[in-house]
């Protein structure tokens, strides 16, 4: 039953409904046929009995003879003795109407008491009987005809349901055929696919086609995102191997020197310092690569937070981690509500402070968060060396390092740019009023993050 086609299900449902209606109507008609024929027979008996009502002395024997030719029986009795009637007698019975078998035949019998002569006021009994079998035969013929009509109606409804069901499901069948013929190439033109799925003739088929096109669009988007993530992963692996090869080679060289030679204490300390520096660089690079990979895969939950409160917490922690740094928060006029990836925005702020200290040599950093009509904005200003205009855009690329900056992993600003993109905004470098560099990051609400963002 579960594998039946929709056309078959429609046919069965229509046939079942028609059968139910036909059975109800047939049952009513069946009863009406029986009652009508029985009523007609009773009417015939009543008519014949009324024709026999005159007193016996004025009996119309012509009526008696005519009734006998129709198979009817008539019997007149006076004081329970037959005085006239047809050759076949009707047994004595009480007044009234009923069925009686006479000489092996069934009759509808009616008995009445009549006054014989007005002078004597004597009662006589008149019994009339009409054959029952012709009426029963007529009822059976009509019942069989009704049964034939009912069966024919059910068969006709099944055939019509099958034909009309085929017409009704034709759009769905066309949709199934076109869906099966859809190319699986991820680069398929969405407009071409929409044309293939454009099916008319039934609202349900159109709704299914629209829903399927929407579903395939989401599948394509997810496929493209997965392909991008895989491409990014391959790129990460390739670039990471290249970037990590230098410090790892240097570490191996230092380890071989320590293992095969016995350098003086001063050289030994210098080699160990280099090992620690290379190790820190490797760890930093791997941590940054992990953050980039997580950002590329997406899916991190967003929380509704107050950016001013987050900035305050980062300022407090940065002041503890950088005792020589004067770091302050530019107080906003009120809360700065935003729905963001909190860990991502925290990483942006921490990277900005770390870059200002490590690469810019800053001694003062100011952080501000503010709400704009359609977005939020974070600004980090420092009084460091600043960044040349020609290098600013390039520094947001992975493993890009400024010529005038201290060595690093080259991934800090790439992480910042990634978070800005995830939040539907931008990240730019500019001159700071403090004399150093300004990092400005904007973001939009999640509902607007998919729309192109305007420059801040």
Instruction: List pLDDT tens digits, range 237-269.
Output: 666 676 667 677 878 887 887 788 878 888 788
Which residue among 253, 278, 298 closes a domain?
298
Tokens linked to 139 = 């009822």
Please indicate, yes or no, whether residues 293 and 325 belong to a single structural domain of this protein. Answer: no
Structurally, the chain folds into a number of domains equal to 3
Answer whether 307's CB lies under 8 Å from 340's CB: yes
* Candidate ranges 92-101, 202-211, 240-249; pick with highest mean pLDDT: 92-101
Query: 3-class SS at 244?
Result: helix
Distant-in-sequence, close-in-space partners of 201: CB < 8 Å, separation ≥ 6: 170, 171, 174
Whether 196 and 214 share a structural domain: yes
Q: Are residues 215 and 243 in the same domain?
A: yes
Residue 339: Cβ-neighbour burial (10 angstroms; 0-12, 13-18, 19+): middle
**CATH (domain of 383):** 3.30.565.10
Nearest CA to 352 among 382, 395, 320, 377? 382
- Mean pLDDT for 296-323 is 83
The phi-psi region of residue 79 (left if phi > 0; otherwise alpha if psi is between -120 and 50; otherwise beta) is left
Same domain, yes or no: 312 and 442: yes
> Are 37 and 112 found together in one domain?
yes
The predicted pLDDT at position 120 comes to: 45
Q: Are residues 370 and 271 in the same domain?
A: no
Which of 298, 331, 353 terminates a domain? The answer is: 298
Are residues 20 and 127 both part of a single domain? yes
Among candidate residues 221, 228, 203, the one with its CA nearest the CA of residue 297? 228
How does the average pLDDT of the chain come out, rounded? 78
In sign, the C-alpha dihedral spanning 240, 242, 244, 248 is positive
User: What pLDDT, in 10s, does the model give residues 355-406?
Assistant: 889 888 899 999 999 988 888 999 999 999 888 888 888 888 866 665 555 5
Give the orientation angle of helix 307-321 with respect to helix 342-358, to 10 degrees: 40
Task: Give the distance, in angstroms, between the CA of residue 332 and the centroid of all CA atoms in the same chain.
Answer: 46
Express as a percent the part of the chain with pLDDT over 90: 21
To the question of pTM greater than 0.75 for the whole model, the response is no
Nearest to 438 by CA among 345, 338, 364, 337: 364
166: helix, coil or strand? Answer: helix
Give the model's pLDDT for residue 82. Answer: 81
Q: What is the distance between the alpha carbons of residues 219 and 50, in angstroms, rounded to a whole number?
A: 90
Residue 453 domain flag:
no
Within-domain flag for 27 = yes
Residues 422 and 325 placed together within one structural domain of the fold: yes
Of 37-46, 137-146, 306-315, 402-411, the poorest mean pLDDT is in 402-411
CA 351 to chain centre: 44
**Separation CA 347–CA 317 (nearest Å):** 13
E strand or H helix at 129: strand 123-131
Q: Which domain holds residue 249?
A: 184-298
Instruction: Write down the pLDDT at residue 260.
Output: 82
Same domain (yes/no): 138, 205: no
Let me know how many helices (H) and strands (E) the chain has, helices first: 10, 12
The size of the chain, in residues, is 456
User: What band does 282 get if pLDDT is binned at 50, 70 and 90?
Assistant: confident
Question: In this predicted structure, what is the pLDDT of residue 60?
Answer: 53
**What confidence category does residue 453 fall into, taking pLDDT thresholds of 50, 70 and 90?**
very low
Tokens of 279: 């190790």
- Measured CA to CA, the distance from residue 436 to residue 365 in angstroms comes to 10
Nearest to 434 by CA among 327, 323, 324, 310: 327
Kindly state whether residues 312 and 416 are assigned to the same domain. Answer: yes
454: in domain? no
Confidence of residue 315 (pLDDT cuts 50, 70, 90): very high
Check whether residue 245 and residue 209 sit in a common domain. Answer: yes
Q: Are residues 319 and 284 in the same domain?
A: no
Residues 122-157: b if buried by 16+ CB within 10 A, e if exposed: eebbbbbbbbbeebeeebeebeeebeeebeebbeeb
Residue 49 CA to chain centroid, in angstroms? 76
Q: Is the confidence at residue 222, as pLDDT, over 50?
A: yes
In a domain, 418, yes or no: yes
d(CA 180, CA 191): 17
């Amino acid at each position: 039953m579960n594998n039946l086609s929709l056309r078959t299900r429609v046919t069965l449902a229509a046939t079942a409904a028609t059968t139910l209606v036909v059975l109800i109507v047939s049952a009513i008609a069946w009863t009406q046929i029986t009652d009508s024929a029985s009523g007609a027979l009773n009417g015939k008996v009543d008519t014949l009995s009324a024709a026999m009502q005159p007193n016996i002395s004025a009996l119309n024997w012509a009526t008696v003879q005519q009734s006998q030719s129709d198979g009817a029986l008539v019997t007149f009795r006076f004081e329970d003795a037959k005085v006239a009637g047809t050759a076949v007698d009707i047994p004595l019975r009480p007044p009234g109407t009923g069925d009686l078998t006479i000489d092996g035949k069934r009759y509808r019998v009616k008995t009445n008491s009549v006054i014989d002569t007005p002078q004597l006021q004597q009662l006589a009994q008149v019994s009339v009987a009409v054959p029952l079998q012709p009426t029963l035969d007529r009822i059976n013929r009509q019942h069989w005809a009704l049964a034939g009509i009912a069966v024919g109606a059910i068969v006709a409804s099944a055939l019509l349901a099958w034909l009309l069901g085929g017409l009704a499901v034709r759009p769905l069948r066309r949709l199934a055929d076109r869906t099966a013929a859809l190319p699986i190439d991820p680069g398929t033109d969405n407009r071409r696919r929409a044309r293939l799925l454009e099916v008319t003739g039934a609202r349900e088929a159109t709704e299914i086609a629209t829903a399927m096109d929407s579903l395939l669009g989401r599948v394509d988007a997810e496929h493209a995102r997965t392909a991008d993530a895989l491409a990014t992963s391959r790129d990460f692996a390739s670039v990471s191997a290249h970037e990590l090869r230098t410090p790892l080679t240097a570490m191996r060289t230092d380890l071989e020197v320590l293992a095969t030679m016995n350098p003086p204490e001063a050289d030994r300390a210098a080699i160990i310092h280099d090992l620690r520096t290379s190790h820190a660089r490797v760890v930093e690079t791997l941590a940054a690569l992990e953050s980039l990979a997580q950002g590329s895969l997406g899916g991190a939950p967003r929380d509704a937070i107050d950016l001013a409160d987050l900035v305050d917490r980062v300022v407090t922690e940065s002041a503890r981690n950088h005792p020589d740094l004067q770091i302050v928060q530019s107080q906003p006029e009120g809360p700065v509500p935003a729905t963001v990836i909190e860990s991502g925005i925290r990483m942006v702020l921490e990277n900005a402070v770390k870059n200002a200290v490590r690469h810019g040599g800053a001694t003062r950093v100011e952080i501000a968060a503010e709400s704009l009509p359609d977005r939020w904005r974070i600004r980090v200003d420092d009084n460091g060396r600043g960044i040349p205009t020609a290098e600013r855009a390039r520094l947001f690329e992975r493993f890009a390092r400024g010529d005038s900056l201290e060595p690093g992993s080259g991934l800090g600003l790439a992480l910042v740019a990634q978070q800005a993109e995830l939040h539907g905004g931008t990240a730019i470098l500019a001159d700071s009023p403090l004399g150093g560099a300004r990092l400005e990051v904007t973001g939009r609400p999640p509902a607007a993050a998919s729309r192109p963002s305007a420059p801040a």
